[in-house]
Structure 1
Amino acid sequence: MIGRLRQKLANHEFLRHVLTLMSGTAVAQLIPILASPIISRLYTPAEMGVFTICMSVVAVVVTISAGRYDLAIVLPRKEEDARGLVKLATRFNTVVCTVVGLLLLVFAEPLAERMGIPGFRWWLVATAGISWAFAQASVFSYWCNRHKGYGLLARNKLGQAVATTGTQLGLGALSWGPAGLLVSTFLGQAWSTVNLFLRSRKEIYRLPHTSTRQLMREHRKMPLLNAPTALMDSVRTNGVTLLIGNLFDSVAVGHFGQAWKLLQTPAALINSSLSQVFFQKLATVERGGMLRIVRQSAVRSALIGAVPFTLIYFLSPPLFPIVFGEPWAMSGLIGAALVPWLFMNFITSPISTVFIVTQRQGTLFWFSLPFTVTPLLVLWAYHPTVLGAVTALSLTMTVMLAAFLVLALWVSWGYDRGVGRKADDEAAAEAEAEAAAEAEQLGGPTT
């Protein structure tokens, strides 16, 4: 039976790659989970709230710091194009994070006071460096994803988890407070970046690459359409955190952040692996097969997530105060309220890249406008208690993500019937048009 299972895995490349990533991701996610009962006693809800607020700033910056060129690394057929995109994304990331750091240096004090963390204004400046480390690790990860280096990615996730969690425990024991959480996060991401760079630098930096100007023209939709869409998505997600801090206090943010982080872990364990492998698969699928693959992904995710999320709904309220201590009881109640939102996010996250692959970023952009504004308006208008606000927010996001799923299926259906095209198709069309124009100017035949 084991032999038959191995033979099936050998013949099923997609499943094999997912399991490879999950093996490293599982252990990487298990490390902070096992350490959480200790970490929750080393850091208070208020300190965790400060950390969550700072990481919300990081998340917004990371969304656009590489100009979304990192996602495009998987798409080109030519290796020199992919190498050029790595370099372009790295330069973009460095410039953007430097500018953000300078702006935060000037405006850190009023921003920190507005966010309710006046004593940590200088750590807001440090979020620029943390953002660079996160984004650069993402750039190298997409290069590894392109070349199906899932074993390396799995080991890298494990090393990052060890570095981050180990430092959190050590600095927490030394009573560093929120600073310890931020420093440990930076060190973990810095380790991840350096490790991936050392493993891939020969393949990227010592071989020819396409010119930056040509790549910027071919992939212009990434910063022009995909980046604003991703920014709106990040503003929505992290705006929720900041708005909770503004409407309530850092303690409420700490409870929300703890519930979100811990309950999203089971989803991230499977979802991150599915998303990376699925993106690579979508980038190579031919017309006629897109809808089938996207539909299969949604059904598979729903079946995988049904039982775990049901257990989370019923078990998180009684288990949180037992595992993490009585001060974290509210986090358990918030966790149960988040389940519908997290479940729909689990289903839709792997298929979100279909808009990039089919060059339908404009469609996603227009959907993102109400998708961003609606939950923030709901939270602003209805917040009797932090639990009531999160419950209303979760139900709103569940409905919005259901609409997103329908949109992704519709785009896939359209692509199979000739609507939309991949990046390489667009580049080839532009090259053909330019050649035709030059031929016409010379008075020769056009093809």
Structure 2
Amino acid sequence: MPTNFNVAKWWKKFTTQHQVLSNISILATGTAATQALVLIVSIFTARIFSPAVFGEFALFSAIVGVFVVIATLRYDLAVVLPDTDKDARQLIRLSTRTNFIVSIAATALAFALRPIVLQIWGSQILATWIPLIGVAIFCSAQVSIWQYWYNRKRQYTVIALNRFESGAGTSFGQLGLGLAGLTSLLGLIAGNLIGLLWALFNLGRQSRETRIPPTEDTASIWEMANRYKKMPLLNLPNALIDAVRTNGIQMLIGAIALDSLGQFNLAWRILQAPIALLNGAIAQVFLERMARVKRGELTGLVRAVMKRATLFGIPPFVLLWILSPWLVPLVFGPNWAQAGLIARAIVPWLAINLIASPLSGVFVVTGRQLWILLHTIIFTAVPLLWLALSPLDFMMTLHFLSLMMAFMLLVLIFIADLAARAYDKAEAAETGKPTDQTFDDEIGNAGTNKPEQDEINED
């Protein structure tokens, strides 16, 4: 390397030439910083709040998570699609209105269902404060709406900073309230709302452009709703199924024992932090390459991604399986010994998920969306039925659940490869070219060619 090499100039040149990777790095850096901060603060909050209290908060968050998916009817995803900003602003208005209606309805429903909450989960304090889900739903969904506006504008630094502000506000809010003596569920909920309101205020203050009034030639809100009706009709059901699976698992564990749910939630968050980073990096680079893939090349690309994900992911998971029963209680305190055992139990599930997650786009490219829909339905039904009907104790139930989920993810990997091969065979039949090409070098050096697509659409 030349002695006069200038890192700043090289980075500026690199990010100019490779805009997609630059955008990914901004979001990944923000996500990594947020997750690192949350985990560090969790070391202290885990010693202040009991596992049962964290279990109650996990239930609160799970209920919020289901409603957040519904809140905007997925019209917020469409904000990046219109050709003009005035149409995008109408989608923001539409999403905001549906968000407000759903949040109010969720609050009213929470008041009405407090006796049922008490009956199912046996927590009087959860039943008392469950109506606060409306505030959490509105803040979470509204922040998402505005983030899609900045996604449209490719202002990824704003998105990354806002995520950090939300994570920091929540973490320090919960820590501060806990240190002040509010060690019940209300302390965790109030701390969470501090972070959400802080993120909402800061992003809303910067989003004045979204509130420019519509002109006479602007399409009406109802016209925009009809133009993008596929979002609630097609996208929402899939997203809702995913939300029901993710949050339903926690709800069913909470029905077994709130303390066990708190332990499970901590283990899940610990393992999900590195997985989210690896998944994000692999998936985004894979999507960038898929935007340019030709028939006859998809199988090699899919297999290269599988190989890379395996090489990156398996060694850390092996270490987690070995160390987590000892490491988790050492870091978070002796009350969390079960979380260490749970972390070991769910390693197979999350390890295979790291390999399978980037492949979901294959079914869109190949026109095999029905395959992924059927798999998603089964992938949701099996764990919920197992948790509801298992005759085994909690830890054995969880071990079998992890193996079941890992097996179904292996099936997903197989059918993704099958879809890619079917897609490529159509090209081979027409041209006579071989279909099994190697893309290891191309994936390993992703970004060395100028991409044709430089916009990241996050979900």
Aligning the two structures, in what range does the TM-score lie when normalised by the shorter sequence? 0.7 to 0.9
Query: Per-residue displacement from partner, 1:388-440 (whole Å, max 9, x unpaired)?
Result: 1111111111122233344556667778879xxxxxxxxxxxxxxxxxxxxxx
Picking from 62, 70, 77, the partner of 2:68 is 62
Matched residue, 1:231:
240
Matched residue, 2:165:
159
Picking from 301, 326, 332, the partner of 2:334 is 326
Matched residue, 1:34:
40
Matched residue, 1:84:
90
- TM superposition shift of 1:109: 2.2
Tell me if 1:205 matches 2:212: yes
Q: 2:205 is matched by which residue type in structure 1?
A: L
Matched residue, 1:196:
203
Matched residue, 2:395:
387
TM-score by length of 2: 0.81
Picking from 255, 262, 278, the partner of 1:254 is 262
Range with greater deviation from structure 2 (177-186 or 108-117): 108-117
1:175-324 counterparts in 2 under 5 A?
A: 175-176=181-182, 177-203=184-210, 205-206=212-213, 210-246=219-255, 248-272=256-280, 281=288, 288=295, 298-324=306-332
Picking from 150, 170, 174, the partner of 1:168 is 174
Q: In angstroms, what is the RMSD of aligned CA positions?
A: 3.1
Matched residue, 2:27:
21
- TM-aligned CA distance change 1:354 to 1:67, over 3 Å: farther
Range with greater deviation from structure 2 (328-337 or 170-179): 170-179
Q: Percent identity?
A: 35
Matched residue, 1:52:
58
- TM-aligned CA distance change 1:283 to 1:318, over 3 Å: same
Listed as ranges, the gaps of 5+ residues in structure 2 are 428-459
Q: For residues 306 and 202 of structure 2, what CA distance do their matches in structure 1 show? A: 33
Picking from 117, 120, 143, the partner of 2:126 is 120
Query: Per-residue displacement from partner, 1:194-226 (whole Å, max 9, x unpaired)?
Result: 322222331563566543223322322221232
- TM-aligned CA distance change 1:329 to 1:383, over 3 Å: farther
Matched residue, 1:371:
379
Listed as ranges, the gaps of 5+ residues in structure 1 are 419-447
- TM-aligned CA distance change 1:204 to 1:348, over 3 Å: farther
Q: For residues 417 and 214 of structure 2, what CA distance do their matches in structure 1 show? A: 39
TM-score by length of 1: 0.83
Q: For residues 229 and 320 of structure 2, what CA distance do their matches in structure 1 show? A: 42
Q: For residues 158 and 422 of structure 2, what CA distance do their matches in structure 1 show? A: 36
- TM-aligned CA distance change 1:220 to 1:292, over 3 Å: farther
Q: For residues 36 and 105 of structure 1, what CA distance do their matches in structure 2 show? A: 31
Q: 1:341 is matched by which residue type in structure 2?
A: W
Query: Per-residue displacement from partner, 1:234-277 (whole Å, max 9, x unpaired)?
Result: 1111111111122x311111111111112211122344566678
Q: 2:202 is matched by which residue type in structure 1?
A: N
Matched residue, 1:94:
100
Q: 2:230 is matched by which residue type in structure 1?
A: K
Q: For residues 130 and 18 of structure 1, what CA distance do their matches in structure 2 show? A: 28
Q: For residues 90 and 294 of structure 2, what CA distance do their matches in structure 1 show? A: 27
Matched residue, 1:438:
none
- TM-aligned CA distance change 1:255 to 1:130, over 3 Å: same
- Answer whether contact 1:226 1:365 (CA < 8 A) is retained: no
- Answer whether contact 2:92 2:210 (CA < 8 A) is retained: no
Q: For residues 48 and 133 of structure 1, what CA distance do their matches in structure 2 show? A: 21
- TM-aligned CA distance change 1:414 to 1:83, over 3 Å: farther
- TM-aligned CA distance change 1:149 to 1:285, over 3 Å: farther
Picking from 106, 117, 141, the partner of 2:147 is 141
Matched residue, 2:457:
none
- TM-aligned CA distance change 1:271 to 1:313, over 3 Å: same
